Amino acid sequence: MTDAVDPHRAPTALPWRGLVEGFYGTPWSGAERRAYFAFAAPLGLDRYVYAPKSDPYHRERWREPYPEAQLAELAALAADAKAVGIRFGYAISPGLSMRFADPADAAALAAKARQLFDAGIRHFCVLFDDVPPTLTDAADLARFGDDDAAVGRAHGAAASEFAGFLRTELGITEPLLVCPTDYAGIAPSPYREGLAETLPTDALLFWTGSDIVVGEVTRAAVDAAAASYRRDLVLWDNFPVNDFDRSRLFLGPLTGRAGDVVGSRLVGIAVNPMVEAAPSRFAIAACAEWAAYPARYDPDAAAARARRLVAGPAAEGLAPLLDACSSWPPSAAPDPALDALIERARRGDVAALAEVRGRMEALAATSSAGAPADLRSALLPWVRAAQAVGAAGVLACRLLANDGRSDAAATVSALRAAWTAAEAHYPNVLRSSVELLVAAALERAGAPRLPVTAPQGGRVLLLTGANPSPGDRELAEFLHADGHAVTIRSESAASDIAPDFDLVIIARAASERAALELADIAIPVIAWGHLVALRLASASEMPLALDTIELSDGDHPIAAGLAGAVRAYRGPSRLTWGVPASGGRVIASTPQDRHPVLVLYDAGMPLVDGRPAPAARLTFFLGSDGFAPWLVTDATRQIVRAAVTHLLGRAA
């Protein structure tokens, strides 16, 4: 293992090193930001960019000055950062509504900066991320054109005018840091060409890599991206951010970042942390080492040092959890080595089974005792989830090793209960891996998770993917317990459905081709996947970090007697919404944007293409995790039950 690098003496350190608080969801508190300043400064991370998407004065209401209390807190934060050697940068994000050719909006941008400057803030950024990619204002179109490069020209011009104001009126001469709308990828684009035409030549650009969230950043990608922008870059590294999946933590080191970037046009890194501030320190510490000396960076050594630095005496007790949450990128398997061991154990490898059991016992014994209070508090839900998953894994290993001993039935019962308890945790710690272990153990014991027959009730087809997700399996079990006969399929022709089923549920995991096979079937359908293809919505999205719906039609039976704001998920996740046909009955929407999430079409009602619904159709708010037991609340269970009952009643 390499020695730690002194960030203040590293000969090849990137000059711009810090953090951008740019995630969606609940922003860090003032105390969490101050804790970051104290932690980061000794590591050589001397930049901080304030850019929480949930601060309305940063984004939606950017024209408005800060109220006195919020302004005072920003001023105090900037002063506290300066006291430990960190430059506090304020990012303003006007792109949702700015009229780029309007002098009044340019003046509003300047006035906002003036207010913050008078409060003691000396560093500014302009962000155009996640805003409309086209111009619609007539004056903007007249000034910047209507071609594909127009919005880039508009953004560059606005940034240039703002930089001029900072320089001439406020005396701020450092290069302006700008986040473009086209912030990911390496190829030239009309937007980048337009931006380069009007942006100051010394401006720095935020860039996230070859994609928004990446496992690798190569020197070749840096060079190509810089050439496409014709500007120096600061890597907005979407690591270890978790706003896209709040059930997970990313506690491992930075990996996949090139060691030969010094001397390129990449001049810095801005870590985008997790919503959970204290656990983010594991990754932040490792990122600081890479930024200080990329060529000598060793992820494993950095991770070991980060664990000791962040967790102190709790590092050993937390090691099973840290190991379980160390993979990157998010699409990678959480623990490929464990998956391989489980696969060998499933095939009868006794040595592998013993090793898996050791891993499960360690996970069940996870402890945060001795950790700093803020870290212990933040990790507590994941520690409990790790303990529960580990306990179920130990029982699964016992069952796999049982070889017909007389206590197998008792172990089956205990395993079912333990896994039900493990799946009830919203935090995800090796859930997909250990589920395979549990399924193998139950299968070996001849105890399938879903009974084959149901006593009575409707006949329900659940259309999902070839490998049903935990949420889809949980939905089948839930409906089975309600007395319905549930069949899970990934392929079905319409001609095979009508005689055999009373209701079809189309989950997001189903293929679009399979969903389209059932688009015209004359029995009721509930869907939270492929709403556009099924003609139930003209557009559909799954926004991040939502957990609440607003029941606007509380008198409808599908509302299950609930009304007003109802928490649909136990933690932030994705709600599916769609733009319905004009006659669709909106039962629930998202609370803030009023996007419809529960829309009912009665049989015969026109769908978005004008054709009549062949039977009742209901769009549902579940997202990519579906009816996952760790996610859905009792309210969601009530609504699902009411929806199925209502549509089956129509079928009768």
Residue 252 to residue 243: CA distance in whole angstroms = 17
Tokens representing 304 are 């070991």
Per the CB < 8 A criterion, the answer to whether 256 and 278 are in contact is no
Closest CA to 290 of 548, 43, 614, 546: 43
> Within 13 Å of residue 272, how many CA atoms lie on the same side as its CB?
23
Beta strands in 166-217 (DSSP E): 177-179, 204-207
> Nearest 5°: CA angle at 176, between 228 and 277?
95
Strands 204-207 and 540-541: unpaired
Catalytic residue among 3, 80, 105, 130: 130
Beta strands in 40-79 (DSSP E): 47-50
Tokens representing 519 are 């688009």
Handedness of CA 542, 547, 551, 554 (dihedral sign): positive
Neighbours of 473 (CB within 10 A): 22
Measured between its terminal Cα atoms, the distance across the chain in Å is 69
Q: How far does CA 269 lie from the centroid of its chain?
A: 21
Residue whose token pair is 């209502």: 646
Classify residue 342 as exposed, middle or buried by CB count within 10 Å of its CB (0-12, 13-18, 19+): buried
593 DSSP β-pair partners? none
Name the strand (E) or helix (H) holding 270: strand 266-272
Residue 357 to residue 351: CA distance in whole angstroms = 10
Q: How far does CA 475 lie from the centroid of its chain?
A: 23
Neighbours of 69 (CB within 10 A): 7
Farthest CA pair distance, the chain: 84
Tokens representing 547 are 């957990």
Per the CB < 8 A criterion, the answer to whether 581 and 574 are in contact is no
Closest CA to 127 of 173, 71, 59: 59
Alpha helices in 119-257 (DSSP H): 138-144, 150-170, 190-198, 219-229
* CA separation, residue 219 to residues 263, 388, 571 (Å): 10, 43, 38
Active site residue 6: no
Tokens representing 35 are 């804790």
Radius of gyration of the CA atoms of the chain, in A: 27
> Nearest 5°: CA angle at 246, between 38 and 473?
155
> Within 13 Å of residue 202, how many CA atoms lie on the same side as its CB?
7
Q: What is the DSSP letter of 619?
A: E
Q: Which residues are catalytically annotated?
A: 130
